[in-house]
Structure 1
Amino acid sequence: MLAQTDYSAWATRLVLDVCSQLTPEQLDSELGASHSSVLRTLRHIHDGERVWLRRLIEVDNVRLPPGPAPEHSFELIVQSWPELWRGYREWIEAASEDELTEEISTLLPSTVLAGGAELRVPRWQIVLHAVNHSTFHRGQIITMLRSLGVTPPATDLTFYCLTL
């Protein structure tokens, strides 16, 4: 699982590097994607990684927060993201096989599923969900960058493997 989280961190760094060259207007431009702008999509990815890491660490905190992602600035997201990546790495390195396979219950807010729901999965699936979620939305940002006339970075897993 470290390989997957390291890949996700690498790909997000590349996207952030390109996005740092955008103007504030470009970052927040309505582009019609699921979270409408590059910045709002970055906030959503960042918040998802933050929430799921907290869920892995805080065993007794079973309820995911409702509502939209906090409206952090681009600069704050760039500054705080490495801490999340370190958090995943440290948690995975310290987790025993029993902790990775232990099923935990999470109460999803009604904004995720109408009426809310209980999600019961092993912790390793939460880690892979966080990586997959980030990959999905990074792809949307790639499309938004193209629509802004910006050449996006190559974030495919194959390119990551070439850096190893």
Structure 2
Amino acid sequence: MSQVHLFQQMAAYNQWMNGKVYEAAGRLDPSELSRDRGAFFGSILGTLNHIVVGDTLWLKRFATLPSGTESLQKVAAQPTPTSLDQILFDDLGKLRDHRRLLDDEIVRWVGGLKDSDVDQALAYRTIEGQSSNKRLSYLIQHFFNHQTHHRGQVSTLLSQAGEDIGVTDLLALIPDES
């Protein structure tokens, strides 16, 4: 299996898990969503916003490459977040709508990648202004790992709030071989 196929699987997993997380979060009242629970980004809402901030920053960077120029136009046109803890949406419904837009863009972009695309390097600046130049395949791997890491935090916070999101294993989406 190629790296691109693995990234396509991760995009599908990302979209599936975000649906489960937002469904569970939607069962909580706004005060529970924004309650500081001692997590790195404070609340469930703060952590969900951080994931969107991170995804937006990375997708805007990926959009500068030929493989992303057309497929990531909607994200490229969005304002660039200014901090990693920025609250882009304080309303879960609006955040969920934006999350769906991002997930659709991710699936579309990754679906159009070729193996040769992920072998190139991406030059970018971090939010702090530090220059980097890294292989795209490693950056995409980081991109999906970042989402998984913080969704794990959110699933713990949701569990502490009494909401079970159910099965979270990637294994649930891996097809059986004949």
TM range (shorter): 0.7 to 0.9
* Alpha-carbon distance in 2 for matches of 1:154, 1:42: 19
**Identical pairs, percent:** 23
Task: Name the residue aligned to 1:24.
Answer: 30
* Alpha-carbon distance in 2 for matches of 1:86, 1:14: 15
Q: Equivalences for 1:33-112 in 2 at 5 Å?
A: 33-59=39-65, 65-67=81-83, 68-72=85-89, 73-110=91-128
Which one of 120, 125, 129 corresponds to residue 142 of structure 2?
A: 129
Give, in angstroms, the shift of residue 6 of structure 1: 0.8
Q: Is the 8 A contact 1:18 1:153 kept in 2?
A: no
State the superposition RMSD in angstroms: 2.2
Task: Name the residue aligned to 2:17.
Answer: 11
**Structure 1 gaps, min length 5:** 111-115
**Structure 2 gaps, min length 5:** 1-6, 70-75
Q: Is the 8 A contact 2:53 2:86 kept in 1?
A: yes
Give, in angstroms, the shift of residue 65 of structure 1: 4.9
* Alpha-carbon distance in 2 for matches of 1:30, 1:78: 20
Q: Is the 8 A contact 1:27 1:38 kept in 2?
A: yes
* Alpha-carbon distance in 1 for matches of 2:175, 2:41: 31
Q: Is the 8 A contact 1:39 1:74 kept in 2?
A: yes
Whichever residue aligns with residue 162 of structure 2, its letter is G
Show structure 1 runs of 4+ deviating over 4 A.
none
Task: Name the residue aligned to 1:143.
Answer: 156
